[in-house]
Amino acid sequence: MTNVELETGGSVWKVLTKVGDKVAAGDVLFILEVMKMEVPYEAPVAGEIMAVHIAEGEVVEEEQVAMEISG
């Protein structure tokens, strides 16, 4: 299991994946808005989305686990 942790705090602008989706390494999982900039987060590994811990519009913090990927 691989956790996708946030590198910075911000607001979740768009969640592009859901539980059960298959992703390849490098696929964009979600986009944060940080200081008026869009910051895409990519899958670090290929696998299946096992859990999503964020929602669009939510304010998130650095080091928070956003998603879990099997693989």
Task: Residue 52: name the closest of 64, 40, 36, 62 by CA.
Answer: 64
What is the residue-wise DSSP string for 1-54?
-EEEE-SS-EEEEEE---TT-EE-TT-EEEEEEETTEEEEEE-SS-EEEEEE--
Residue with tokens 């956003």: 66
Record the pTM: 0.93
Query: Which tens digits make up the pLDDT trace of 30-66?
Result: 999 999 999 999 999 999 999 999 999 999 999 999 9
Distance, in Å, from the CA atom of 47 to the CA atom of 56, rounded to the nearest integer, reads 22
Where does the pLDDT of residue 71 fall: very low under 50, low under 70, confident under 90, or very high at 90 and above?
confident
Tell me the average pLDDT across 2-31. Answer: 97
Looking at the domain 2-70, which fold is it? OB fold (Dihydrolipoamide Acetyltransferase, E2P) (2.40.50)
